[in-house]
Chain A
Amino acid sequence: MRRGKRHGGPGGDGLLRASPFLLPSLIGLMIFSLLPLLISVGISLTDWNGLDSIGAAGFFQEHFVGLDNYKSILTGREFWQVLKNTGTYIVLYIPGMLVMSLTVAFLLSRERRGVMVFRVIYYLPVLTSWVAASLIWTTMLSPQYGAVNNILSLFGIKGPGWLLDPKWAMPAIVLVSIWKDMGFFGLILLSGMVDINKSYYEAASLDGAGAWTKFLRITLPLMTPAIFYVLIVSLINAFQLFPQIMIMTDGGPYGATQVMVERIYKYGFRYFRMGYAAAFSWILFVIIMTCTAIQMKAQKRWVHYDS
């Protein structure tokens, strides 16, 4: 960052001028990030039920349980089941979403008549709230009266019970999530696609490369930074799966769609086990950080930055 010292001088005067501008954001930073972060560590070490006054004298002596919450989460069966459910989601969602959003990006990058119309249509699901989208899809996926199974039956396929079937509930959530997200990630990938220098394609054409070769050898490698960004964001989102679960399945059937945030919410605000929920949220945080760190490390192997 280049900045001349002449503007505002070093130290006192600058801070004085800056503080009114910074104040609202810093208050926000304290209240909504740093302070809760500290409190969260504290709560996770207690068996607080969310009702007793937390600031009361002797609160910590009375409720302190050390690392018990973490231990009981990690040794319980439920956590691993939740992790497995999330894993199922990730394994199905990420490749599906990537293929669809790459397709969307590719289609939108062509200069064809009507491309603006497609652009708006593909973006409609992104604009819809998760609540509305989940409500619509819940009715669409109704085994008997829903649109999906009725359309499938036109092709002679008998559709499954979707949200009511433990085997199909998570795949159904995945399908809906892909439908909802492909426009968003498609548009991000599109921006990576249009940034590619046209001269590469011209050179490749001169060498007699076909459209498919150009896509594989030029477009895809030069889009890797955009793909990398999409992977990072979508994996973080995948661990934070929440509204669609709450509305479409509420974790069911038989716990098949129980996921991290749904568990944290239920433990905290339905079963009033705040300490347990707080510990759960820290485990989630560590998992997300680890996955992101691994991706950051691995990017050197496959992400090409065009210099």
Chain B
Amino acid sequence: MILKKRLSTTGYYVVSAAIAVVSMIPFLWMISTSLKTQGAVMTVPIQWIPEEPTLQAYVDVFTTFSFARTVANSLFIAVTYTGVTLLSSSMAAFAFTKIHFRGNDLLLKVYLATMMIPTQVTMIPLFVVMNRLGLINSYSSVIMPSLFRPFAVFMLVQQMRTIPQDFLDAARIDGANTFQVFRKVALPMCKPTLATLMVTTFMESWNDYLWPLLMLTDRSKMTLPIALATLTGQYNPQYALLMAGSLISMIPIIIIYIMAQRSFQYGMMAGGIKG
């Protein structure tokens, strides 16, 4: 019995560690490559630990193109995008669940049904619309879609439905107006969902590729993923540079993920399946 238990413990850690190694190898590779000289990248056998480690790629990445500007663009866009998503979605969810008006249910259904429309279908006409509005190469072109986030509305509707009406009524009796009820009662009770959405939305916006690719063609406006992707198209790709850039691009997400770990996992579980 004890032997069997020990075997299963060993088995557990062997399998877990094997998957962990597979998950981690690309990141170790990224770090290792980012510390190499261009010559060392092209050597066989490969050097997992560079023989002459150098931080040159990290210096180069900031000097060959306006990398700092790109990081600033990405940060600005992701933060604004996330803020607008959380605000507009929670407002809509509040109206859908806590204010009674005719056509409420139907409107919610239409709104949520649009989740099924793939972005590719709307991509070309949206390009036309954005072009018409003169918004190509503007930050607003990549931030504005945050107004329309059916999935976020869906998650928040689920959460707001659990808030007892009595809470809201009590606040009303105390003289709060609709906006105050929303701010002081409804929003605080949605914290776990808001935290999850904050992480996932920030991540989506920060990592997004297709939409910024269409909208931001001006180098000074580009986000990190787009700028990184343009570097590969060059005749002689500088691998160390690309890896250094990739590594830097991951830092904010990892920080936010670790900070929000707890509520994030709770929210994933609450929202994941019912989706």
- The contact string, 1 if C-beta is below 8 Å from chain B, for chain A 244-264, is 001100000000000011001
The answer to the question of B68 belonging to the interface, with a C-beta cut-off of 8 Å to chain A, is no
Confirm or deny: A208 has a beta carbon within 8 angstroms of a beta carbon on chain B: no
The answer to whether B12 touches A127 (Cβ under 8 A) is: no
Q: A31 and B15: CB pair below 8 A?
A: no
Minimum C-beta distance from A13 to chain B (A): 8
Q: Hey, what's the 0/1 contact readout for A107-132 against B, CB within 8 Å counting as 1?
A: 10010101000101111110111111
B-contact bits for A171-202, CB 8 A (1 contact / 0 none): 00000000100110001101110110000000
Cα distance, A190 to B9, chains bound together (Å)? 20
A11 in contact (CB, < 8 A): yes
Does chain A have a CB within 8 A of B66?
no
Interface residues in A274-307 (C-beta closer than 8 Å to B): 274, 277-278, 281-282, 284-285, 288-289, 292
Which residues of chain B are near A133, meaning CB under 8 Å? 26
Determine whether B120 belongs to the interface, using a CB cutoff of 8 Å to chain A.
Answer: yes
| Residue contact A32 to B122, C-beta cutoff 8 Å | yes
Contact B26 A21 (CB under 8 A): no
Contact pattern, B 87-120, Cβ under 8 Å of A = 1, otherwise 0: 1110110111011111011010011001011111
Bin chain B's interface residue count.
Answer: 35 or more
**A30 (CB) vs chain B CBs: closest residue:** B148
Residue of A24, A132, A284 near B121 (CB, 8 A) is A284
| Selected A-B contacts with CB under 8 Å, 28 pairs | A1-B105, A7-B99, A10-B100, A18-B101, A21-B92, A22-B91, A25-B147, A28-B88, A28-B148, A34-B114, A40-B121, A125-B26, A129-B249, A131-B246, A132-B246, A132-B250, A135-B228, A136-B26, A140-B26, A147-B29, A150-B45, A150-B46, A179-B23, A188-B272, A240-B119, A281-B120, A282-B121, A288-B118
* B209 engages A130 (CB within 8 Å): yes
A71 at the A/B interface (Cβ < 8 Å)? no
Does any Cβ of B come within 8 Å of A139's Cβ?
yes
Q: A56 near B: Cβ within 8 Å?
A: no
Known contacts A27-B147, A268-B127, then 17 further A-B pairs from the complex at CB < 8 Å, ordered by chain A residue: A11-B101, A18-B99, A22-B95, A25-B153, A33-B117, A33-B122, A37-B117, A112-B12, A128-B207, A132-B225, A132-B249, A136-B26, A138-B232, A140-B26, A145-B46, A150-B46, A179-B22
Chain B interface helix/strand/loop/mixed = helix
Chain B: which residue is nearest A149 at the CB level? Answer: B46
Interface residue B81 (Cβ < 8 Å from any Cβ of A)? no
B261: chain A residues within 8 A (beta carbon) = 120
Q: How far is the CA of A179 from the CA of B26 in the complex (A)?
A: 10
Task: Tell me whether B225 and A24 are in contact (CB under 8 A).
Answer: no
Q: Does B203 contact A (CB under 8 A)?
A: yes
Give the complex CA separation of A19 and B101 in angstroms: 10
Q: Is A8 an interface residue (CB 8 A)?
A: yes
A103 contacts B by Cβ under 8 Å: yes
Which residue from B23, B33, B253 sits with its C-beta under 8 Å from A121?
B23
Mask, B122-138, CB within 8 Å of A = 1, is 11111111001000000
Asked if A24 contacts B92 (CB within 8 A), the reply is: yes
Does B2 interact with chain A (Cβ within 8 Å)?
no
CB of A93 closer than 8 Å to a CB of B: no
**Complex CA–CA separation, A31 to B30 (angstroms):** 40
Q: CB < 8 Å: which of B120, B179, B257, B272 contacts A191? A: B272
A74 / chain B contacts, CB cutoff of 8 Å: none
List chain A residues, Cβ under 8 A from B125.
35-40, 43, 278
A156 adjacent to chain B (CB < 8 Å)? no
